[in-house]
Amino acid sequence: MKLTKEQLADIKNQQSQVNSTKRVTVPELEKILYEAIPALDHGFVRVVDYMGDDTSIVQSARVSYGKGTKQVSTDAGLIKYLMRHWHSTPFEMCEIKYHIKLPIFIARQWIRHRTANVNEYSARYSILDKEFYLPSQENLAAQSTSNRQGRGDVLEGEQAKKVLEILKDDAERTYANYETMLNEKYDGSTIDDTRKGLARELARMNLTLNTYTQWYWKTDLLNLMNFLRLRADHHAQYEIRVYADIMLDTLKKWVPITHEAFIDYRVGGTEVSSKGKIILKKLIKGENISLEDSGLSKREWNELMEAFDLKDKLI
Q: Which domain holds residue 222?
A: 5-127+210-267
CA 104, CA 48: separation in Å to the nearest integer? Answer: 21
Same domain, 89 and 231: yes
Annotated catalytic residue within 195, 200, 231, 266: 231
Respond yes or no: is residue 200 known to be catalytic: no
**Of 251, 267, 283, which marks where a domain is finished?**
267
Is 14 part of any domain? yes
Residue 25 has a pLDDT of 94
**86-110 residue pLDDT tens:** 999 999 999 999 999 999 999 999 9
Residue 70 has a pLDDT of 59
Residue 146 has a pLDDT of 65
**Cα 12 → chain centroid:** 25
Residue 186 has a pLDDT of 81
Is 147 part of any domain? no
Residues of the chain with pLDDT under 50: none
Can you tell me whether residue 105 is helix, strand or coil?
A: helix
Phi, psi of 219 (to 5 degrees): -150, 165
- Going 45 to 49 to 54 to 57, the CA torsion angle's sign is negative
Domain count, the chain: 3
Is 86 part of any domain? yes
